Structure 1
Amino acid sequence: MRWTLEVVSVPVSDIDRAKAFYVDGLGFHVDHDTTAGPVRFAQLTPPGSGCSIVIGMSAMAPGSLQGLQLVVNDVRAAHAELTARGVEVGEVQYASREGGFRPATAEDDLNNSGFLFLSDPDGNGWAVQQITARP
């Protein structure tokens, strides 16, 4: 049997504001934006991902979801793209083998060790990790 994770619910306070952030800022695609009676929700998918997020259908408090992670093949390019789109994103970080993070240098091999951190307008926390080769 194959098990796949395909949807994660992200708690937001304003669907339109969150949708704009994820679509215009992060480049997610809108799968659908649906109203069913009094409930509105939208499903959004990162480019190339098999897993989507749903906004507008969560029992969690807006901003309470932390540790969501996207993977890219070039974290520096992702940083430049997000910054160009107006997304507030921290500096590229290197996950040290000794533990913890420090600002990345040009000499650092960022495969599996390069990260960015950002939050959506409600404070839900995201990491972006570089994986260019898997063991």
Structure 2
Amino acid sequence: METRLEAVVVPVSDADRSRHFYRALGFRLDLDVTTGDGSRVVRLTPPGSTCSILFGSAIVAALPGPSCVVLTVPEVEAARSELVQRGAAPGPVRDLPTGVRAISFRDPDENEWVLVEGMAIELFTPSA
């Protein structure tokens, strides 16, 4: 199973403060979207990286706790089968509102791993 680390979700208590902090570190701002219902998604990429960080109210609560790692896979059903063979317990394949197909599972520490088919940028782009 070929995978590529796409994004790491970082729980934060203040999206503006975190955006400023990471921008000051040289992270590239890829996305900062607020929808009509007030949900917000911020995506930043470290210099030279192909993996981004995500935070905001439309992703995870800002409380400390388990994290979420997003991986992309060429074919989600094949990835699910391989995960089952390797002892993980992924949920069913689901079609997200953005048209992205995904599965997820948790590690022993309750960190969530989400595997999405193709590119995951659309996964965290809320509908307007």
Per the normalisation by structure 1, the TM-score is 0.43
| Greater radius of gyration (CA) | 1
Per the normalisation by structure 2, the TM-score is 0.45
